[in-house]
Amino acid sequence: MKARYHVALSAALSLPFLFIGEYWMALTCLLFGALIDVDHQLDFYLLFGRFTWNITELSEELLEHNQPTFFCPLHSLEFIISLVLLSWRFDMFVGAVVSVTVHLITDILFNYRKELDLLRVSFLYRARGELRLYEQFRQSHQQPKETVK
Ligand SMILES: [Zn+2]
């Protein structure tokens, strides 16, 4: 889903926290849901060879180039589990758990409709596949070594 919709959705999700007086939860809900796309920076760099701080460019350029796999470490079940563990100690992260979970679900529904693979929710699963692709790329571009006799 595009960055501007994530910002709007995160703002809407933070409203119930505001109404019940949980201002820190509302803040983490808004910030985490909107800023999680910063982790596209790694994939953007791998694809374009440069960094960008334009959030629209970060979230939408990658989708338009239809990159088959993404590292995106924050778009993962592992990150949500980390936030759940953090929220046991610090209540304010309950807002982050809600917005990051909804962010991930909407990304899956809107970005991966054609190739829905729920295992891809796991960063470790994705990274393993991604590393394999890079390994295949490196092997196919290596010059065959001549054997000296
Ligand atoms: Zn996203």
Q: Are 29 and 87 in contact (CB under 8 A)?
A: no
23 located within any domain: yes
Measure the CA–CA gap between 94 and 84, rounded to whole angstroms. 7
61-82 per-position pLDDT tens digit: 665 555 555 678 898 999 999 9
How many angstroms is it from 33 CA to the middle of ligand 1? 8
pTM: 0.76
Helices (H), the chain: 3-19, 23-35, 40-48, 55-64, 77-89, 93-111, 123-140
> What are the residues whose beta carbons fall under 8 Å from the beta carbon of 119, sequence distance 6 or more?
125
Structural domain includes residue 122: yes
Q: 59 CA to middle of ligand 1, Å?
A: 7
When divided into structural domains, the chain yields a total of 1
Q: Is residue 147 part of a domain?
A: no
Domain for residue 149, yes or no? Answer: no
Task: Kindly report, residue by residue over 6-18, the tens digit of the pLDDT.
Answer: 999 999 999 999 9
Region at 122 (left for phi over 0; alpha for psi -120 to 50; beta for the rest): beta
Question: 74 and 36 in contact (C-beta within 8 Å)?
Answer: yes
Q: How far is the CA of 64 from the centre of ligand 1 (A)?
A: 14
- Centre of ligand 1 from the C-alpha of residue 99, in Å: 11
Q: Is the distance from CB of 93 to CB of 86 less than 8 angstroms?
A: yes
C-alpha 148 – ligand 1 centre gap (Å): 52
Any domain includes 105: yes
What residue numbers bound the domain in which 64 lies? 3-140
| In a domain? residue 33 | yes
Residue 135 belongs to a domain:
yes
pLDDT band at 2 (very low <50, low <70, confident <90, very high): confident
Q: How far is the CA of 136 from the centre of ligand 1 (A)?
A: 27
